[in-house]
Structure 1
Amino acid sequence: MMKTIIFGLIGFIGVAVIALLTLSGAFVKPAYLEPWEKDYPQKFADPRIQLAAHGLLAANGHNMQPWKIRLKEDDPRVFYLYADSDRLTKEVDPLARQAMITQGTFLGYINMAGKKLGYKTDIILFPQGGYDEQRLAESMSAMPVAQITLAKETPASAPFYDYMFWPETNRAPYQSTRLSAEQIKGLKNINRDDDMSIRFFQDKENLDKLRSYAMQGATIEAGVNRVMQESETIFRANEYQKNQYRYGFSIEGQGNSGIMKHLMQGLVTLFPSLNSGKPAADLFIQSTQTAVDNTPVYTMIISKDNTRVNQVKSGMLYSEMILAAHQQGLVMQPLSQVLEEYPEMNELYQGIHRDYAPDGGTIQMLMRVGKPTKEVPPSMRRDVMDLIIKE
């Protein structure tokens, strides 16, 4: 009798696991990971598309990938980058500052890939003038962020190139090891722009203060329903959704991988409420707490002012920082909440600027830095051809 019960229970568990794996899409090919393959850019004959395929791997806000590319028909050397106004996260980023930083991260990867592929990339920001801020969405569609002109040259040494294919963000706990003076110098030296500065913090006073800012920011964001709902709408619960949309958030971002990822995806697909409302808010706060409790170093990118040009240049600098950090065996994660510009975050935003940018500069990026305790999988990416504007 007991054996029958045990075998029955084992059989039930087995059927349940298979059902969850099926709901998760565990047996479906993850097409959304194809852009991370090193030979993916080589599928395209046009070098402009090859470079865009590299840019597609760049870090970007909420993984919205808000990029559009227009190829100049009468000049095969030239293409234009536009911000995709249909992919703005208007609740969490109402002034589109993060969206502009994201344009810069894309350009940073294009520039780096160009060296490896044998192209000098001449990048002109806002070649047709700046945005009409009163009609921002329409202006984004009309005015390019950048004009990129290619000039063929001998492929140059690109020591950071291979690191472009590493996951751009690691949200796991970091080792307690702090950075050496040489490491900090190496990361700071990538900045060659007088409008930008990079600062590092690893003393106890600043670690405690920035940990507090990060947690307060996460708590505020978790309590703003419209912001959390915006994130919920771009959450992809399973492999089928990830292949369909190829942007947004997923279970991997919460630190799950392997069979556990698929079991969780199956459960969330079956019970969507597990990743919405209060459970989602609580998980967000808990994951932030785990991250900041295991962070040995914080770093900031601070711009002289908050112009659209400097927002974009901040993103370009951030891409270089990520790749330089990877070369040193380090990883990063942006902690963007405290820098967001919706009303509920205003007091905290003003506070961190008083403490860390008292001379009137703008903190464009706040990141945690350290040696990883585990590898993380790459996030979803769209097909590069989806970025191309059809004339």
Structure 2
Amino acid sequence: MTAQTDHSDAALRRRRRNLLLTACTTLGALLLAAVFLMPLGYGAVTALKDKDGVSDPNGSLLPVSALTFEYEGETLDVYAVPMPGGGERELALVEPGRESSTFVDPDAPGEGTIAWEGRWRTLEPVTGLAPQWGNFAEAWETIDFLRLMGWTLMYALTTMLFTVVSSAVVAYGFARFRFPGRGILFGLLMATILLPPAVTLVPKYAVFLQMGWIGTYLPLIVPQLFANAFNVFLLRQYFMTIPKELEEAARIDGAGPIRTFVRVIIPQAFPALTAVSLFHFFYAWNDFFEPLLYLAGNRDIVPIGVGLSYFSGVYNTEPHLILAAAILALALPVAIFLVAQRVFVRGIVVTGVDK
């Protein structure tokens, strides 16, 4: 009996420890997520403020503004008015005076005006939550968002297709075919990851300038036809986890390497291909420096990252509009990630690559 009791107590203590560990882990994850999302939350709140609310150093963190009341065709400000009997009432100022003013109760305007003795300039205005949703409409129209989004989608989707196809072909070659110098070639390919982009920037620009490609999307799209080292590595790791028996069965059925790759490998590698596609889509959507460099002088075809920089330069005194435009630019990538999150995470976990 005593042994059973001790065993039950030990099991209860283990459950309590596991529950406490789970609670601490969850709390830590929530705190980390809150810290990570804090700048995004601040940007979203600021995008909903008006210009005065953004410029006020002592203003509220939330998008608030002074309350007003329509009375007899006029817009009146609402103040917190102390009453002679004690307490305060929220009244709309009808007729200001130096020592005596006239107010009206917004909740009961039919009762007439209220005379109040005192200096109305000492009163605190009543504020309330007033998000300025019109900031998004104004930013949308001012920045010509549809044009920027169209060019950005063209750039992101085209380069995503090219880099996924070329990287998958190269990765399949390194994963399944044996040829002289395979290890050396793969090592050289991986070494290009360590090469800083600034080293190749000037030579690439000089080559593209001689070819007459500056001012077009060709310098941004054509290089994606020749694979990407990181994508090749990720896909190669995934291809190596696919059982070779599937390819052998396809070969017995008469399928060649190309047909085996298309009919057997590609369907099995859908999670990894999705992860690579989303990696590149997000990269291209947020790409700024290379489009700024290669599309210089042709502002009509710039993607959204460069367009936002131009918008920020013109409207640098209106940060609420800048942040509204940034939130609009962020909406589509976030929506795509949320929709494809399960497949995206699975593709990363299975390959053993974390980024």
Q: Under a length normalisation based on structure 2, what TM-score does the superposition of the two structures give?
A: 0.25
Higher share of residues assigned helix = 2
Look at both structures and tell me which one has the larger radius of gyration over its CA atoms: 2
Which structure is higher in RCO with an 8 Å CA cutoff and minimum separation 6?
1
